[in-house]
Amino acid sequence: MNKWILSACFLALTAAPAAAADVRLESYRNPANENFRIFNHMYLDGARGGMMASNAWLKRHGGQMLFCMPDNLALSTEQTEEIMLKSADKRAAKGDMAVASLLLRGLQDTFPCEKPASQ
């Protein structure tokens, strides 16, 4: 049974790799159906997780963090979506804009890092 499930997952992942590469604002705001809406939220959660993991790595290795979110804060999917959509509105983003880029800019707007005194 486990081999069958693993094979099905592998097939699903390799069947359309380009489709999962990116989500654009237009398709995020206007999903074709409920499955696409769910996929969009999963994508946004994954983008948030990747950005937070990158930030943690940068912090641990002394690099310039992308944004400075409080350590004790956990963003929900709804909060993440709100940040991304506010970023899109602020920038008057077109429908072909990548959702992940808008999220990063929104996180930077919402959780800016303090600049060193020398800047």
With beta carbons less than 8 A apart as the criterion, state whether 25 and 97 touch. yes
Kindly report, residue by residue over 52-75, the tens digit of the pLDDT. 999 999 999 999 999 999 989 999
With beta carbons less than 8 A apart as the criterion, state whether 106 and 84 touch. yes
**Angle CA(57)–CA(46)–CA(37) in degrees, nearest 5?**
165
Which residue would you say has higher pLDDT here, 15 or 70? Answer: 70
Measured distance CA(116)–CA(12) in Å, rounded = 47
pLDDT in the model for residue 12: 47
Does the pLDDT at position 42 exceed 80?
yes
Q: What's the chain's average pLDDT?
A: 85
Contacts of 27 (CB under 8 A, 6+ apart): 36, 40
pTM of the model: 0.79
Does the pLDDT at position 20 exceed 80?
no
> What three-state secondary structure class fits 67?
coil
Does the pLDDT at position 15 exceed 50?
no
With beta carbons less than 8 A apart as the criterion, state whether 100 and 20 touch. no
pLDDT in the model for residue 50: 96
Does the pLDDT at position 115 exceed 80?
no
